[in-house]
C-alpha cells in the first residue's frame, strides 16, 4: 500500500525538524601499560627526547683585516715571549693569525 503524499511530507518534515541523534565523536587515547621492568633496565633503554635540529649558520671565512688590531697585539706578545729578538716578525704575525682564527672558529 503506497504512502499518501501528505503522510510522506509529514515524515520528511519530522526528519528535518528532529535533532540528529548521533553521538559526539569519541577520542581514544593510547595508554601504554607500565612495565614491571627493574629501574636499571628501564634506564638503560630510555632514549633522550629528540631535539629539533638547528640550522647551522653559514660558514664564515675568517678575515684577518677585520681583526688586524687583535692580530697585532698577539704578534707583539709573541715577540715579547721570544725575548724581543728581531728577525721573526713574519713568523710571529702568521702565528698570531692562527691564534686569533682559532678563537673565532671555536665559537
- Nearest-5° angle of CA 65, CA 76, CA 95? 65
DSSP letters, 6-24, are HHHHHHHHHHHHSPP--PP
Q: What is the pLDDT of residues 25-74, one digit of tens each?
A: 666 666 666 666 555 555 556 666 667 677 666 667 788 888 999 999 99
pTM of the model: 0.44
Domain regions of the chain by residue span = 60-107
Q: How many helices (H) and strands (E) does the chain have?
A: 4, 0
Amino acid at each position: 500500500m503506497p504512502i499518501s503524499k501528505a503522510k510522506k511530507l509529514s515524515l520528511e518534515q519530522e526528519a528535518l525538524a528532529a535533532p540528529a541523534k548521533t553521538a559526539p565523536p569519541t577520542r581514544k587515547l593510547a595508554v601504554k601499560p607500565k612495565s614491571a621492568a627493574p629501574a636499571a633496565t628501564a634506564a638503560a633503554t630510555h632514549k633522550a627526547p629528540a631535539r629539533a635540529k638547528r640550522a647551522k649558520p653559514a660558514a664564515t671565512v675568517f678575515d684577518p683585516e677585520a681583526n688586524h688590531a687583535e692580530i697585532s697585539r698577539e704578534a707583539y706578545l709573541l715577540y715579547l715571549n721570544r725575548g724581543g729578538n728581531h728577525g721573526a716578525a713574519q713568523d710571529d704575525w702568521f702565528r698570531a693569525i692562527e691564534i686569533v682564527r682559532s678563537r673565532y672558529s671555536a665559537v
